[in-house]
Amino acid sequence: MRADEHRIQLPSESAGTGAGAHFADLSERLLGIIASATDAIITVDARQRVTLFNAAAERMFRCTAAEALGAPLERFIPARFREAHRAHIADFDRTGTTARAMGHQRPLTALRCDGVEFPIEATISQVTVGGQKLFTAIVRDITERLSAEQALVESEHRLRAVVETAVDAIITIDDHGIIETVNPSAERMFGYPRDEMVGRNVNMLMPEPHRSDHDSYLDRYLRTGEARIIGIGREVVGVRKDGSTFPLDLSVSEFRAGGRRMFTGVVHDASNRRRLEREILEASANEQRRVGHELHDGLCQQLTGVAFATELLARRLKKEAPGAVASVYELAREVDAAIGQARGLARGLNPVEVHAGGLAQALQHLAGKVSETYGVKCVFRQKGDTDLADNAAETHLFRITQEAVSNAIRHGKASRVDVELAVDAERLTLKVKDNGLGLKHDMTQAMSANSDGIGLQTMAYRARIIGGQLDVQRGPARGVTVTCSIPLAVLARRAANR
């Protein structure tokens, strides 16, 4: 007997009434199971005539058992497959080979009695009952399953098309930071082909110090749930294969796939936006400088002329109308006050003079004014040649200093502020350190939520505009240190492009 053939021995009359009763009970149970089965069960004899057709088969094939019993199995096989079915049966009769069908689930196409074809999955087995060979097929209608699978495939194709054609880079990583998928935009954006990114740590796309710190950021998030970028989104810096850096907007979301924790990053190259923002900001700064010059060289000069004329008038009136001299001198004082206000406005609009040492002189003047106005000790130090020959960059650095000093006094209640401008072989560094109360929140909150967050955001924005990076650190006990550093190579490129 072959492995896929089952032989059922019917009890003989000599076996006794007990065995017969047991068999009758067993047969009744089996018939009950067959009748109530949710899958169609069809049995055919050696001539391929239907000998059993259960209720599920009636529902599936849209015909009654009375119509099916005795009918050839080919009635339920589409005409285009009948010849192949006959050849298969003939091959089985000749060789007894059953591995192609028996005992295995096979996707097939069946034919209902109303002429409609539908997909099925069938398990076929052979059984010998009382010396008669029968074939039994357990049939399942897989129309809904195939429709669901097709819908899933189409959905995956649509999703893949969206990802593959997206303008922004889309990168997925696992919980160890290893890149699993990238889309074509990511290849173009970072300059790497797909096979040079997949399987490597995503920190390859980050400049230092973020490259070295990334794994600790991810590990901390997995342990504590403390998010710096995940679920928040922010502007960061990326690095291309050629080593060039560029600003990018990054949003990261978390998802689970197959029980695994995964992350998707959507990356937008912010270079064009940054350039436009810089042009707008510099155009505004240029206009401010123009108005400042107009105030200083125009209005102030005119007011100075009025002051001289008033002085001459007072001298003449000493002889001709001595009683009016006091009023003229009062007018002269008002004119002098107007000149002082106009010059103050001009300096505010154009704080950095366009000449060598302009930034250093402006910061020195700021420190003096802070000490004089607020009674806070403000000290400025300069290290190295800090002449940038870039008035826009110098103005941004001055505004960063102005904001940091203001925060130290207004929010930090500092009694001392140190401002340092230094240049070494690689970068220019501006540092503002105070002994105040320190930050009320951590940097993520400070940059987005509290009252002085706008000031910090503005400083960070100004730093990015000129190719620098802003860092704000709490002191070990109290105070805050604000540092803005700019690579000299970036300043050189700015100067070359002006």
The pTM of the whole model exceeds 0.85: no
Q: Which of 200-209, 299-308, 464-473 shows the lowest mean pLDDT across its residues?
A: 299-308
Q: In the predicted model, what is the mean pLDDT of residues 300-306?
A: 71
Whether 305 shows a pLDDT value over 80: the answer reads no
347, containing H or E segment: helix 325-349
- Choose between 303 and 356: higher pLDDT: 303
**DSSP secondary structure code for residue 336 in this structure:** H
Q: In the predicted model, what is the mean pLDDT of residues 470-487?
A: 88
Tell me, what amino acid is at 128?
Answer: T
Q: Which of 414-428, 444-458, 484-498 shows the lowest mean pLDDT across its residues?
A: 444-458
- Choose between 60 and 279: higher pLDDT: 60
β-sheet with 427-434: strand ranges across: 377-383, 416-423, 427-434, 480-487, 469-474
Q: Which of 40-49, 258-267, 316-325, 442-451 shows the lowest mean pLDDT across its residues?
A: 442-451
* Residue range 163-213, pLDDT digits in tens: 888 889 999 999 889 999 999 999 999 999 999 999 999 999 998 877 888
- Choose between 442 and 214: higher pLDDT: 214
Tell me, what amino acid is at 209?
Answer: P
Whether 7 shows a pLDDT value over 80: the answer reads no
Cβ pair 186, 238 in contact under 8 A? no
* Residue range 111-162, pLDDT digits in tens: 999 999 999 998 888 877 777 888 888 999 999 999 998 898 888 888 888 8
Distance CA 215, CA 189 (A): 22
Whether 466 shows a pLDDT value over 90: the answer reads no
Whether 483 shows a pLDDT value over 60: the answer reads yes
- Choose between 380 and 301: higher pLDDT: 380
Q: In the predicted model, what is the mean pLDDT of residues 221-231?
A: 72
- Choose between 469 and 315: higher pLDDT: 469
∠ at Cα 255 (249, 257), nearest 5°?
135
Q: Whose structure tokens read 């008033």?
A: 310
Tell me, what amino acid is at 294?
Answer: E
Average pLDDT, the chain: 80
Q: Which of 14-18, 102-106, 173-177, 185-189 shows the lowest mean pLDDT across its residues?
A: 14-18
pLDDT in the model for residue 107: 80
Cβ pair 228, 218 in contact under 8 A? no
Whether 90 shows a pLDDT value over 80: the answer reads yes
Q: In the predicted model, what is the mean pLDDT of residues 446-455?
A: 49
pLDDT in the model for residue 29: 74
